[in-house]
Amino acid sequence: MKITFSPKNRIGQANPMIFGHFLEHFHRQIYSGVYDPQSPFADEDGFRTDVLEALRRIKTPIIRWPGGCYVSAYDWHYGVGKNRTATYDKAWRVEESNAFGTDEFVKLCRKLDCEPYICTNAGTGTAEQMSDWVEYCNLETMGRFAKERIENGYEQPHAVKFWSIGNENWGDHEIGSKDCEEWGRLVRESAKMMLRVDPTLELSAASIDDLDWNLNLLRSAGKYLDWISIHGYWDFSPDGLTYADYDAVVLRTGEAISGSINRVRAYLTAFGLEKRIKIAFDEWNLRGWFHPNVMDIWERDGKRKEDKDFYEQQVIGPRSRNDNNAIYTMADAVFSAAFLNICLRNCDIVGMACFSPIVNTRGAIFTHKDGIVLRPQYFVFDLYANLLKENVLNIWAEDVPVITGCDNGREVSVDSIDLVVTYGDNTYAVAAVNKDPGKAQIVDLSLIGDTVSQMRIHTVNGPSADAYNDIGKTDVGITVSEWMPFTGSVILDAHSVNIIEIC
């Protein structure tokens, strides 16, 4: 395989926010995840220092919160002030203490030097309630809610720039779901009120790669938006125990991902908005979260399920299956790298992506009482966030090997080598993924219009495609070669994610 590139032939500049993350009030993501005042690792504000350190290492640029489905029945007011009231979480059917709310979230982001991104309640919430939340966060002294923030001990505004109107309100699974026309009107009126509070906001709205949904949204509210939010998960387990294997995952690393971006790009282009509105892929992961029976409260014979053990055994308990570290293998690392590569190749229109979630459940970080486990996908963020350069270059690829197989009854072909070239400060960083489960590949790199002399390779890999990390078990990590003369030829190990530095 041969790749030809030049520093003069650029796609655009990558936004570091594509390496963002997501945090929801679900299972152990917040409580005993990032926030655990009883942990020996807790700092003075209750945040786990080992998690904070791991998030700083990958230069977390932005975090989206509080949902997710959770937000569509969330009243932000219960999560501020000195006396918090516990509420019933109608999305996930548990009691929410509200110990972690807006002020804690912003404090977490400030500790990480990252942008807070608040997703508002567009399910049971109103345009006024959304704008009240902006008042609380961003007004200096005017009005009831800014004064309330000051009384709560935060004299300076939180200055939250990024806000999303709603989460997956297109779906029946969402509390307060809307039809196309309802959604366009609600987004328009919410955006108007939020921007009257703070005209410097950057606003996103929940969307999907559906023509009718976007026609109504963009026609009604496009002039108020800076972002359009889409989500993606590509492997849903029927029982929380069985998952797509490495071979199946690889077949989902091509058009299955890029198709959503291409369709939304087309909708934006049709309205002439492709230069002004960017795509925020603000929930994404290979593995969909496992949470069975969330809507199931009736027996088939019509009798209500009164047995309270049902909730623990069939609704709440199975969520712990998400935390089985053996699920997250080099398949997850390869998929994550392929996803980020697609975002980089579309950097002219994809400006944000939030891995879902940040910790526990399907997160890249797993917490336990004695520390943390860094799952394979974590190391992809480590390499990409720390080593890639700001400019994404066009490439000319020849003789690209292909993997072909059957996925869900359909024959699929994907490139075996997935490669992106970035450039900055007279240095090149090449993101190169070898998806082949058993065969190393040789890539010839041909640079036109510049001279380089040396290279080194950073590699995420393990002893097999099914390698994973767990408590007391670290099979996947990063290895770094010595600097070596640049010959143009690079060997990529099987099932590996690589960053090749060239200068």
Tens of pLDDT, residues 136-161: 999 999 999 999 999 999 999 999 99
DSSP state of 181: H
Q: Is 289 exposed, middle or buried (0-12, 13-18, 19+ CB in 10 A)?
A: buried
Q: How confident is the model at residue 295, as a pLDDT?
A: 76
Could you give the CA distance from residue 347 to residue 359 in angstroms, rounded to a whole number? 26
DSSP state of 252: T
Of the ranges 140-154, 228-242, 262-276, 289-303, which one carries the lowest mean pLDDT score?
A: 289-303
Could you give the CA distance from residue 496 to residue 503 in angstroms, rounded to a whole number? 22
301-355 pLDDT, tens digit per residue, is 554 555 667 778 888 999 999 999 999 999 999 999 999 999 999 999 999 999 9
What average pLDDT does the segment 53-61 reach? 98
Could you give the CA distance from residue 188 to residue 122 in angstroms, rounded to a whole number? 12
Q: How confident is the model at residue 39, as a pLDDT?
A: 97
Q: How confident is the model at residue 408, as a pLDDT?
A: 86
Quick one: pLDDT band at residue 296, thresholds 50, 70, 90? low
Could you give the CA distance from residue 137 to residue 399 in angstroms, rounded to a whole number? 53
Q: Percent of the chain at pLDDT above 90?
A: 95
Q: What is the mean pLDDT of the chain?
A: 96
Q: How confident is the model at residue 306, as a pLDDT?
A: 52
Question: Which amino acid type is present at position 153?
Answer: G
Q: Is the peptide bond before 357 cis (omega within 30 degrees of 0)?
A: yes
Could you give the CA distance from residue 270 to residue 54 in angstroms, rounded to a whole number? 42
Q: How confident is the model at residue 30, as a pLDDT?
A: 98
Q: How confident is the model at residue 297, as a pLDDT?
A: 54
391-440 pLDDT, tens digit per residue, is 999 999 999 999 999 998 899 999 999 999 999 999 999 999 999 999 99
Could you give the CA distance from residue 45 to residue 37 in angstroms, rounded to a whole number? 7
Q: How confident is the model at residue 173, as a pLDDT?
A: 94
Does the pLDDT at position 254 exceed 80?
yes
Does the pLDDT at position 60 exceed 90?
yes
Beta-strand pair 94-96/473-474: unpaired
Q: How confident is the model at residue 294, as a pLDDT?
A: 84
What average pLDDT does the segment 207-217 reach? 96
Q: How confident is the model at residue 314, as a pLDDT?
A: 85
Could you give the CA distance from residue 253 to residue 247 in angstroms, rounded to a whole number? 11
Q: How confident is the model at residue 304, as a pLDDT?
A: 53
Closest CA to 10 of 383, 390, 341, 272: 390
Q: State pTM to two decimals.
A: 0.97
Q: Is 138 exposed, middle or buried (0-12, 13-18, 19+ CB in 10 A)?
A: buried
Phi, psi at 77, each rounded to 5°: -65, -30
Does the pLDDT at position 288 exceed 70?
yes
Domains annotated for the chain, with CATH where assigned, are 14-387 (3.20.20.80), 391-502 (2.60.40.1180)
Quick one: pLDDT band at residue 368, thresholds 50, 70, 90? very high
